[in-house]
Amino acid sequence: MTVEAGKETLGFQTEVKQLLHLMIHSLYSHPEIFLRELVSNASDASDKLRFKALKQPELLESDPELQIRIGFDKEAKTVTISDNGIGMNRADVVEHLGTIAKSGTSEFLQQLSGDQKKDSHLIGQFGVGFYSAFIVADRVTVETRKAGEAEAVRWESEGTGEFTIEAIEKASRGTAITLHLKSDQEEFADGWRLRNIIRKYSDHISMPILMEKESMGAEEGEEEKKDEAPEWETVNTAKALWTRSRSDVKEEEYKEFYKHISHDFADPLKWSHNRVEGKLEYSSLLYIPAKAPFDLYNRDMQKGLKLYVQRVFIMDDAEQFMPMYLRFIKGVVDSNDLSLNISREILQQDPQVESMKSALTKRVLDMLEKMAKKEPEQYASFWAEFGQVLKEGPAEDFSNREKVAGLLRFATTHDDVVTQAQSLTDYVSRMKEGQEKIYYICADNHTAAKSSPHLEVFRKKGIEVLLLSDRIDEWLMSHLTEFDGKQFEDVGRGDLDLGKLNDEDDKKAQEESAKANEDLVKRIQNVLGDDVDEVRVTHRLTDSPACLVAGQNDMGMQMKRILQAAGQDVPESKPVFEINPEHPLVIKLDNEPDEDRFADLTRVVFDQANLAAGGQLEDPASYVQRLNKLLLELSH
């Protein structure tokens, strides 16, 4: 840090430097977005002041009309965006214009590939805000005074490694940002160009954006007019977008408004704009983003809606209006009933908020249902981005369990593709005559699920099975017991009961086989002892010699592994070992007179069943030893 005549020079946080560099290189093809970003910040600053002034009206000083002004100077090649909003003091400036507060930023930046096309998309999701000024400017000057404070500051930077900051005099409250345009961006110092950009990107801003009136070329004798105070005119619609009627708002306006509230650069996937009248009165405008934010699973992710009460901005990120599993929804809710003094704490207990939350949740689920039905491709892209989060729904939101279940998508044995494309409704419509349950299997990955021996009897009988392999799936299924009146059944646990899918002949054959193999089962039981809960003849295998089955109430393997990885104790449970007496290996086993060889062979088949289920052997060396012994005997 150097100090000269009250001027301090400070360095940007490393992340800011990286971001600036990347942004300038990847967003150069859309330079005009700088204006949208800076106007968006000016509007937020004004919203914040209006809210604070509810309690402290003196903050408005003698200047209560909140507005944004855009000026330019063709000769000096500058554009200036000024607001009379909340402003910043020295500490604010250093913090907000020198660092990035978002957690996970450096991890995010490391992910970038250096491929400008890809990165510009990612950076878009990240939101660059103020720093976008450096796309068009090689020097940016910010002069600002915080409402209610006397000291003002000037911040200046060339967007390389550092910035300067110094105290100044500033009579008017708020922030003025002057962009010294790069030589190839001078076209922005033009009234017509600026007006166009404002109308295109910032028309929805609810407060007036003013520009100086321009005459159509000064006529002779009008030169002296220059000394008069300039006349300003409003160039945007200046009405809160969500208060307008749906038919008056153009698609483009909805999209631009989304970018303003979400700091996303990409268009939203879908939105829903509504006004509710009756016991509760409020408007809402909810958006589904096209892409998941990089911090979707970060606990500090900004989530929730922008809350307004009677058009007055109250707070960002009001989390109480959306359940966690819909935390990716962006939007605005404007209530006529809540108090202007409402705080986050009160929001948490307010019964009105609770009923708004349940109505808004339904609104989002309806929007998704409609999309799934009418625009399946769009829904597939939604699912790819947010499906995992939606799977948290059944556990969190009991009342909408069935609705959320209807929105889930799965890979199944119907088409055997990795893509999660089948709905439960699809599944139910394909259920076989006599089938009462929805069958599923959980495994570590799709291939393991797809080739599990547990599916053999289902494939033989042509019964569809859901193939679950996401980390969250086992947990999801522990909260999802029914859909459309049909129970779910894990094909990898318990005593497989195919109900009416098994005919009398099947049942008879099973009973007979169990009886005929009683001795074999006992012999195996003796070898495995305490390692198994039970040995029995299988009803599920047709091609494999044996498999392991979890007890009906045991924790599944996937869940066990997650808990173990988290260093937690896992309740011990023993598997059931099922054998397929038709399989040549089991027949061989049955015919083995030598008890030692019988024991070796049994152990090998048992360990293999564990491996086939994606499990890990407790004593892999012994397995290899036994197998090698048997292999060597083969060659005799």
By the rule CB under 6 A, 85 interacts with ligand ADP: yes
Distance of closest approach, residue 1 Cβ to ligand ADP, in angstroms: 21
By the rule CB under 6 A, 264 interacts with ligand ADP: no
Smallest CA-to-CA distance from 143 within 98, 175, 181 is with 175
C-alpha triplet 349, 353, 356: angle, nearest 5°: 155
Distance of closest approach, residue 146 Cβ to ligand ADP, in angstroms: 8
Q: Pattern 366-405, binding to ligand ADP, x per CB under 6 A?
A: ----------------------------------------
User: C-alpha 79: how far from its chain's center?
Assistant: 36
Question: Is 157 within 8 Å of 174 (Cβ atoms)?
Answer: no
Question: Is 185 within 8 Å of 137 (Cβ atoms)?
Answer: yes
**How many other C-beta atoms can be found within 10 angstroms of the C-beta atom of residue 75?**
6
- Which range, of 85-93, 385-393, 519-527, 627-635, touches ligand ADP by CB under 6 A? 85-93
Distance, CA of 491 to CA of 539 (rounded, Å):
11
Smallest CA-to-CA distance from 360 within 286, 262, 268, 270 is with 286
User: Which of 124, 127, 331, 393 touches ligand ADP by CB under 6 A?
Assistant: 127
How far, CA to CA in Å, does 308 sit from each of 240, 289, 305, 341? 11, 21, 9, 11
Residue nearest to ligand ADP (CB): 129
Q: Pattern 169-198, binding to ligand ADP, x per CB under 6 A?
A: ------x-----------------------
Distance, CA of 220 to CA of 242 (rounded, Å):
46
By the rule CB under 6 A, 51 interacts with ligand ADP: no
By the rule CB under 6 A, 42 interacts with ligand ADP: yes
Burial of 415 (0-12, 13-18, 19+ CB in 10 A): exposed
Q: Inter-axis angle of helices 518-528 and 595-612, to 10 degrees?
A: 80
Q: Tokens 């009136």 identify what position?
A: 213
Q: Pattern 506-525, binding to ligand ADP, x per CB under 6 A?
A: --------------------
Tallying the residues shown for the chain, one arrives at: 636
Distance of closest approach, residue 223 Cβ to ligand ADP, in angstroms: 35
Q: Inter-axis angle of helices 14-26 and 116-126, to 10 degrees?
A: 120
Nearer to ligand ADP, 127 or 545 (CB): 127
Distance of closest approach, residue 532 Cβ to ligand ADP, in angstroms: 58
309: helix, strand or coil? strand
User: Which of 96, 275, 461, 629 touches ligand ADP by CB under 6 A?
Assistant: 96
341: helix, strand or coil? coil
Distance, CA of 551 to CA of 309 (rounded, Å):
54
Nearer to ligand ADP, 319 or 534 (CB): 319
By the rule CB under 6 A, 236 interacts with ligand ADP: no
Distance, CA of 60 to CA of 58 (rounded, Å):
5
- Which range, of 128-136, 287-295, 305-313, 471-479, touches ligand ADP by CB under 6 A? 128-136
By the rule CB under 6 A, 136 interacts with ligand ADP: no
User: Which of 86, 140, 360, 407 touches ligand ADP by CB under 6 A?
Assistant: 86
Burial of 399 (0-12, 13-18, 19+ CB in 10 A): exposed
By the rule CB under 6 A, 130 interacts with ligand ADP: yes
By the rule CB under 6 A, 165 interacts with ligand ADP: no
By the rule CB under 6 A, 129 interacts with ligand ADP: yes
Nearer to ligand ADP, 266 or 527 (CB): 266
Nearer to ligand ADP, 16 or 548 (CB): 16
User: Which of 23, 53, 70, 88 touches ligand ADP by CB under 6 A?
Assistant: 88
Smallest CA-to-CA distance from 315 within 330, 332, 329 is with 332
User: Which of 27, 33, 35, 45 touches ligand ADP by CB under 6 A?
Assistant: 45
Name the residue type at position 497: D
- Which range, of 126-134, 222-230, 318-326, 348-356, touches ligand ADP by CB under 6 A? 126-134
Distance of closest approach, residue 66 Cβ to ligand ADP, in angstroms: 12
Nearer to ligand ADP, 318 or 609 (CB): 318
Q: Token digits for 477?
A: 């299924």
Distance of closest approach, residue 45 Cβ to ligand ADP, in angstroms: 3
What single DSSP character describes residue 168? E
By the rule CB under 6 A, 83 interacts with ligand ADP: yes
**How many other C-beta atoms can be found within 10 angstroms of the C-beta atom of residue 361?**
22
> Which residues lie near ligand ADP (CB under 6 A)?
41-42, 45, 83, 85-88, 96, 127, 129-131, 175, 263
